[in-house]
Amino acid sequence: MHELSITQSIVDTARERAAGRPVHRIHVRAGKLTAVIPESMQFCFELIVEGTEMAGARLEIEQPEGRAHCSKCNTDFALPDLVLLCPCGSAEVSVTGGRELQIVSMEVG
């Protein structure tokens, strides 16, 4: 379960950036191609912050769809998984979205 280590890193970063102020909300963008399961990340978050100064903070997870561009037919298309094939049949594709994993914003008090 890689969600545990990812979520621990998010919490550590949030604590560092909050500089002692209480954290109320963390908004994360985890693209669908990262293989992060939002429910698992939420579960890990609740375990990690329990009994800490971040207890009660909310984790909001946004999951952008995978996107790719085909250099053969010059088309942008949805990429539901990591099978890198264009609908035209070409494998000359580059992933343009869905792999992001970032803290977008935090609400601190």
Domains assigned to the chain: 2-65+97-108 (3.30.2320.50)
Alpha-carbon gap, residue 71 to 25, rounded angstroms: 40
At residue 2, the pLDDT reads 87
Name the pTM for this structure: 0.85
pLDDT, one tens digit per residue, over 12-62 is 999 999 998 999 999 999 999 998 999 999 999 999 999 998 999 999 999
Alpha-carbon gap, residue 109 to 100, rounded angstroms: 27
At residue 1, the pLDDT reads 58
Q: Which stretches of 1-109 are DSSP H helices? A: 2-18, 38-49
Q: How buried is residue 80: exposed, middle or buried, by Cβ count under 10 Å (0-12/13-18/19+)?
A: exposed
